[in-house]
Structure 1
């Protein structure tokens, strides 16, 4: 009778060992899966009515309590499995059973309670998280009070050392986190380069100002308001643009903006007789914006005013250039061309691997076209970058080497670099960050 009772105890202890291993695997898989699960996908599933995703999001909102519960549960079952396994093997092999228990349980715990469940969880974290959401919520509800108590004890123990739980803030901003995820997905093949550039351009709107994307005043196509109506009509019809600033006296004195459609409507109203037109009466009022306005704010302003065109001024009120809605959209989707746009892009790759570039080409556009990462913090155009790095206005034929490229000045007009040849000396690092 005693032997039967002893045998029954051994089987019971062995059963407890198996149950403890399964519980340890459950806690290990849960910790890994919940940590790696996509918060964005869980929020999307919750909005779609998924109750399991709702439980997941609720657990992730109380992250410290969840982690504390998992650690407590895992430690309890791991201590339990070691204790019961030792008792079983000591009963079978005597004092040497403790050594056998240590060796056997180390292998079982590492393989079946740690590596195997964590590997399964990390390979499909979202699915595993949803599968474990309900039992995990029960465990947190059961062990939550104990976890809260232990958390408070830890806080009190750390206070003399000046360490306060919960005061640490993420190093990366939300936009940097998104950019990092997009770059990672692109590197893994989940996001195409075009999509990565579009998302990156959207995130950059807050950091860029209108002065970095505007058409400079030296390239603005304007019309002298003192010209005859017939000449103004011809100027508008020969222009590739639909909106033209009007000036009087000097090109900095903008008196209005003439829209081609408004001009054609007015011309139709007078029976096609251009001499009867009063152009300034047709022109729209000029809208001036500071050069420090961010692209995000300017985009909102364009949408609010329901217009696509603004003149950019500096702190002294001097006209620096113009910015359009299309200029901002191009920062997101890339260069937009239609049948009336000028075809000159200014970037011409050569068969030998070098690239001939107009000096006025923005660095951001060159980076996007060639998938380079030339810095654009100190200069907007590629000519400005060369001048900044050289600390002088170079002469034609001069060669400089920086940022992994050789820059040769091909043409120069007065104090402006008009053409460059850029030769990568090594693969120019793509924009991964």
Structure 2
């Protein structure tokens, strides 16, 4: 009896049921396409397009007009949902009377949520690139048909939002390209796809435009330089004892840099006939110094090093006073980390104590400490760890004075005149009671 009734129902409403099924399928197609096309990797799609994949080119064209694309898909999706729900309501009204409205609402809500929303979106998000390529051609047809209506709707929406002072622009992105790349790199690192070293290198490249020469330079107090007024043999011995291949030469005062001596030029001069360490003219063989402002960003300075084919520059402030020096290697180390060779002197600026605390030289750059320990201490207002403590405490701390900020406990271990030379750092939660 029930089978006969069901057969009769299908016979009387077969066309309506077929249309409902078709509309649910179209709704699923629109939902999945929207998810896939908005989640697809533009970088991978671009690579496929360059390699000659026609579908990738279509995807790129669709994504370039994202507002038109989403508008067309949403209009198609809503039309399919409304039509299928209306037909279902009509059919069930004939069967159950007024109760058919409730049955249609409940039944179509469950069906549309499961089969037209959750299922296709989950499928699309599991493989967005492959899904986007598969639907590229039919979606392009949908956009061509519904696109004009979508543009009209978008125009109305923009005008309405404009009345409330909200401006939408397709040309302005909420994130810059660098911010998007940095976010992607950090996300992949958290997901385990990127090791920390790779994240730091890519982050270093992205940071070059934000850092200034003053952030990485070797400060004047730490510079090794040659006094041109000293005896030639003393200068030769200083060069041989040094681990550096280039050294600035000064005369009169340490701020008066008159040249930069390259160890190779010195060796060439000593190889000439009748030239000895006692007679070599250091000033004559020194190269002309190159002075750069301390506010130059690292990206521009790197390009300048490559353009001029030199590796060494003297850093000066706005008054022309020498502040330090910067080398090509200093900039590269911001990207790849410390570069050590067989002649480098190992200076331990950071060491871990038995109690888990970290003892740090005051001159250690904050960025180096963050990289080494995967911390996130701010480096906008100060370059070194000592500078950070002075900036946050608004004073020059005394020895054994302690401060807590950014989740860390900083204890001043040693101070020389007005310089903090050594600190102990430990997590704030590990600080013993009463300390």
Q: TM-score, normalised by structure 2?
A: 0.92
- The aligned counterpart of 1:411 is 414
Question: Given the superposition, is the C-alpha separation of residues 407 and 261 from structure 1 closer, same or farther in structure 2, using an over 3 Å criterion?
Answer: same
Alignment of 1:240-389 (within 5 A): 240-270=243-273, 273-389=276-392
Question: Given the superposition, is the C-alpha separation of residues 354 and 156 from structure 1 closer, same or farther in structure 2, using an over 3 Å criterion?
Answer: closer
Structure 1 residue 406: Cα displacement: 1.6
**Of 203, 209, 218, which aligns to 2:212?**
209
Conserved? CA contact 1:270–1:277, under 8 Å: no
Alignment of 1:195-234 (within 5 A): 195-234=198-237
2:258 aligned counterpart, secondary structure? strand
Answering whether residue 192 of structure 2 is matched by residue 189 of structure 1, we say yes
Hey, what's the Cα distance between the residues in 2 that align with 1:133 and 1:9?
37
- The aligned counterpart of 2:181 is 178
Question: Given the superposition, is the C-alpha separation of residues 163 and 342 from structure 1 closer, same or farther in structure 2, using an over 3 Å criterion?
Answer: same
Conserved? CA contact 1:33–1:129, under 8 Å: yes
Hey, what's the Cα distance between the residues in 2 that align with 1:270 and 1:306?
30
Aligned-residue CA RMSD (Å): 2.1
Tell me whether 317-326 or 75-84 shows the greater mean CA deviation.
Answer: 75-84
Answering whether residue 149 of structure 2 is matched by residue 146 of structure 1, we say yes
**Of 10, 13, 25, which aligns to 1:10?**
13
Provide structure 1 residue ranges, at least 5 long, that are not aligned to the other structure.
428-433
Tell me whether 50-59 or 91-100 shows the greater mean CA deviation.
Answer: 91-100
Conserved? CA contact 1:270–1:276, under 8 Å: no
Question: Given the superposition, is the C-alpha separation of residues 71 and 330 from structure 1 closer, same or farther in structure 2, using an over 3 Å criterion?
Answer: same
Hey, what's the Cα distance between the residues in 2 that align with 1:156 and 1:217?
59
Q: Deviations over 1:319-342 (max 9, x none)?
A: 111000111111111111111111
Question: Given the superposition, is the C-alpha separation of residues 14 and 182 from structure 1 closer, same or farther in structure 2, using an over 3 Å criterion?
Answer: same
Hey, what's the Cα distance between the residues in 2 that align with 1:386 and 1:152?
53
Hey, what's the Cα distance between the residues in 2 that align with 1:375 and 1:159?
38
Question: Given the superposition, is the C-alpha separation of residues 161 and 223 from structure 1 closer, same or farther in structure 2, using an over 3 Å criterion?
Answer: closer
1:218 aligned counterpart, secondary structure? helix
- How many residues get paired? 424
- The aligned counterpart of 1:63 is 66
Alignment of 1:105-124 (within 5 A): 105-124=108-127
Structure 1 residue 108: Cα displacement: 0.8
**Of 79, 83, 88, which aligns to 1:80?**
83
Q: Deviations over 1:308-359 (max 9, x none)?
A: 0000011111111100011111111111111111100300011211001111
Hey, what's the Cα distance between the residues in 2 that align with 1:308 and 1:175?
27
Structure 1 residue 84: Cα displacement: 2.2
Conserved? CA contact 1:214–1:322, under 8 Å: yes
Answering whether residue 20 of structure 2 is matched by residue 27 of structure 1, we say no
Question: Given the superposition, is the C-alpha separation of residues 426 and 33 from structure 1 closer, same or farther in structure 2, using an over 3 Å criterion?
Answer: farther
Q: TM-score, normalised by structure 1?
A: 0.92
Hey, what's the Cα distance between the residues in 1 that align with 2:233 and 2:415?
37
